[in-house]
Structure 1
Amino acid sequence: MAGTGYPKQDKKTGKWYFVIEAGKDSNGKRTRKKRSFETKKEAKMAMAKALLEVQNNRDTKKNVNITVGEYLHYWLENYAKTNTKPKTFAEYEKIVKTHLQPSLGHIKLYELRSIQLQNYYKVKLIGLTAQSVTHHHRVLSKALNDAIDWEFIDKNVAKGAKPPKPAKREMNSYSVEQLNLLLKTAKDRTPVFYPIIYAAAHTGMRKSELIGLNWKNVDFFNQRIYIRQTITEANGKYFFNSIPKNEKPRGIKLTAELLKLLEKLKEEHDKQKEILGDYFNPYNLVFCNSKGNIMAPSEISRALKRALKAANLPDIRFHDLRHSHATILLQANVHPKIVSARLGHSKIQVTMDIYSHMTDSIEGIAVDTLDTLLE
């Protein structure tokens, strides 16, 4: 605790000294004050004075006229920018500048109260999802915890506020017939985005994995693709994310039809390269837009919606193609470990928990098999 201790005598010099903690500096490092005197009485008097100075400094910091908006700017520059990944920082910056600062920025930091945050959540829920508002709460709570460490405030008022509880996202999946109809329709209605939609259905890959897939990670000879990077988007910027060096890249065996599609797509890209040179598809991506640029996640989702509408199919998210891939394999009695490996889950238990609704149908297949084998 800052400002504790009692004068002690140095056995070598015979002088009396004290050491008190004076809090933390702007970088979060602990600071101390140490002074020595000829007598114990002098040390005690000086220590009492130093303690009072420390306490006064703490009180001054509590009442400093910094606003929430000014502090959040300070937090972004002094913590988030140097301690988080670029994509995370971009997300934090967007939340702070687009939402937190405009709504709460005018309030003095030491005057911020839990009820103000509660009202903020209520207003934001009018236009945002509970998931988004909860993310705002987490960012603000982290920033206020750091404000305590830097001794701007003594209490994190976000802990007294109650953020909305996000609803569990419903998982949808298509049958084989529905998925085939979607792929046929997508080929006609959205030919540029058809390959990535087709690949999602045939591999179960995530959108970020598909967007980031590079041609050098496609092994045509062994009919496999390897996931070594993802591309994500935040705050209008793209981020290339490599898998950690200590992790083995995930390999996925290609279906015969997907292999044919990729071979044809590679030929088309090579022809475009001959005409346009390195200006076309500079990142050598497997899936790119007609200009050879990175496919925007929002563009992919809109293309899927157009195909769904044209096929008169129930609405699903792009991520549900991944769920459809897994569900179809499990229904076909493919071992969950194989499914788990294709999806890139860390453990087979993750797969079983997500697709627990498939347990009854899988068990039914097992029982049917036993009926044919045992008398």
Structure 2
Amino acid sequence: MSYLKKVDAKNKQGYAWKCTSEGPRDPITGKRRQVTRRALTKKEAQAKVDEAIEEMIKQDKRGVGSDMQDMTVRQLLIQWFDLVMKHRLKETTLKSYINTMQRRVIPVMGDVRVAALNTIFLQNFINNLNSEDLSPRYIEYISTVLYGAFEAARKWGVIEVNPLNDVERPRPRQVSFPTWTREEAQHFLNTALLSNLRMYTVVSTAFKTGVRRGEVLALKWSDVDFENAEINIERSLVYDKEGFRFSKPKTKSSVRKIKVGDSLLTDLKRWKGQQNELKMIHRKIFVDHDLVFTTETGKPIYPRTMTHMFNQIIKEAGVPKIRFHDLRHTHATLCLESGMSLKDVQDRLGHGNIQTTGNVYAHVTNNMKEKSTQLFEDYISKI
């Protein structure tokens, strides 16, 4: 039932009619929703209310409220990060997504309604990124994150089609990573062993397991199974404004057990002996968190400090400069070249699917195919 009331208005007749009626309850919250419209006559006011209620019912059937229809890109990103991505991504990865959107997307289209976006607008956005001389990989990263947000909007019924579908965007490319040869890796380790046993053991562990920087710094002695020659990866070290803390590894598949050889077990035992000596020397201030790699007083190692030490030893050894993360690529490359199966390498790296491993190391697997073909050819030629 509608409620009609005469109200003052700045028109010739000096008044208007206000019509208020109960709309359908919110399908999600169950809250009441009243609809009010004004017009010159009772009939017009009632007609406007009826039209608004009819549109509200249509939107409810589609699962989209008026607030969703008016959702801006800024609001979409906030909801997408909060409802979906924070449950999928590692904390540091999520922060990277948020920072990228705040820096590159929000200033340009943060207040634009998602439903109002079109191909031309977004093509101009991508073209402008290109004109800033940003790397193709970074532009690809921005567009990939934004595409994911628009896909969420499509699934939620805010839009019917992802507006980035027909935009010419940088496509995923095969990226090659610098790696060390066996000889270069061994030369680095020999140099490190003479000057810094802790750094030697950190790199030996990363090189011989393929673990990420945060994973190696979060290792605890309870994760090292000397008897079964296994290392358990179940956490990662994070350092930010809030200080040091442990988080879950990058993905679910990153929680894994890695079989290791005698050489790494020997390295770890040697380092454990020196760490025990440090505990005795600094016993009054040493804080024991059971961490494998720590400062002299037992605190976690600051990631950038470790990277700095890594780069210093690279200079001393005179080997090609690589990132610490490239030890992971070196490990995978040497595993494949040694004859290890792609599936085994996938498990060691903690990749969610074998396609990821195959795509990243396609150049290596192609070499393996050539070697395998030649081995087969040599074999059958003896028949």
TM superposition score category, shorter chain reference? 0.5 to 0.7
Could you tell me how far apart the structure 1 residues matched to 2:294 and 2:128 are? 39
Which residue of 206, 225, 248 maps to 1:219? 225
The equivalent of 2:266 in structure 1 is: 260
- Number of residue equivalences: 337
The letter for the 2-side match of 1:91 is S
User: Is the partner of 2:293 in helix, strand or coil?
Assistant: coil
Give 1:193 deviation, angstroms: 3.0
The answer on whether the counterparts of 1:196 and 1:210 sit within 8 Å (CA) in structure 2 is yes
Measured after TM superposition, the shift of residue 280 of structure 1 is: 4.8
TM-score of the aligned structures, taking structure 1 as reference length: 0.66
Q: Which of 258, 274, 291 in structure 2 is aligned with 1:285?
A: 291
> 169, 172, 180: which one pairs with 2:186?
180
Identity %, equivalent residues: 25
Q: Residue in 2 aligned with 1:136?
A: 142
**8 Å contact kept, 1:61–1:151:** no
Counterpart position of 1:199: 205
What is aligned with 1:121?
126
C-alpha RMSD of matched pairs (Å)? 4.8
Moved more, 297-306 or 275-284: 275-284
CA contact (8 A) 2:24 2:53 kept: no
User: Structure 1 369/328 Cα, relative in aligned 2: closer, same or farther at 3 Å?
Assistant: farther
Q: Residues 321 and 151 from structure 1, CA distance in 2 versus in 1: closer, same or farther, beyond 3 angstroms?
A: closer
Q: What one-letter code is carried by the residue in structure 1 that aligns with 2:109?
A: L
1:303-340 per-position Cα deviation (integer Å, ceiling 9, x unaligned):
44433343333343434433433444554556767666
Which sits farther off after the overlay, 167-176 or 335-344? 335-344
Unaligned 5+ runs, structure 1: 1-20, 34-45
Matching residue's letter, 1:105: G
Aligned twin of 2:20 = none
Partner of 1:14: none
5+ residue gaps in structure 2? Answer: 1-22, 34-45, 60-64
Match of 2:371 among 350, 361, 365: 361
Secondary structure at the aligned position of 2:248 is classed as strand
Q: 1:339, 1:155 → 2: CA distance? A: 38
Q: Distance in 1 between matches of 2:147 and 2:177?
A: 30
User: 2:254 touches 2:351 (CA, 8 Å); kept in 1?
Assistant: no
TM (normalized to structure 2)?
0.65
In 1, distance between residues paired with 2:67 and 2:354?
51
- Please identify, of 352-361 and 214-223, the stretch whose mean Cα deviation from structure 2 is larger: 352-361
**1:99 & 1:298 partners in 2: Cα distance?**
26
1:211-252 alpha-carbon deviations (Å, 9 max, x no partner)? 332210112334432223344678987652169999984231
Per-residue CA deviations over 1:318-370 (Å, capped at 9, x if unaligned) read: 34433433444554556767666555567888767733122333555677788
Q: Distance in 2 between matches of 1:56 and 1:312?
A: 70
Q: For residues 365 and 343 of structure 1, do their structure 2 counterparts lie closer, same or farther at Cα, with a shift above 3 Å needed?
A: farther
Answer yes or no: is the 8 Å Cα contact 1:281–1:292 preserved in 2. Answer: yes
- Paired with 1:164 and 1:243, the residues of 2 have a C-alpha distance of 25
1:168 aligns with 2:174: yes
* Distance (whole Å) between structure 2 residues aligned to residue 219 and residue 159 of structure 1: 49
Deviations 1:176-204 (A, max 9, x none): 22221122233456655332212222233
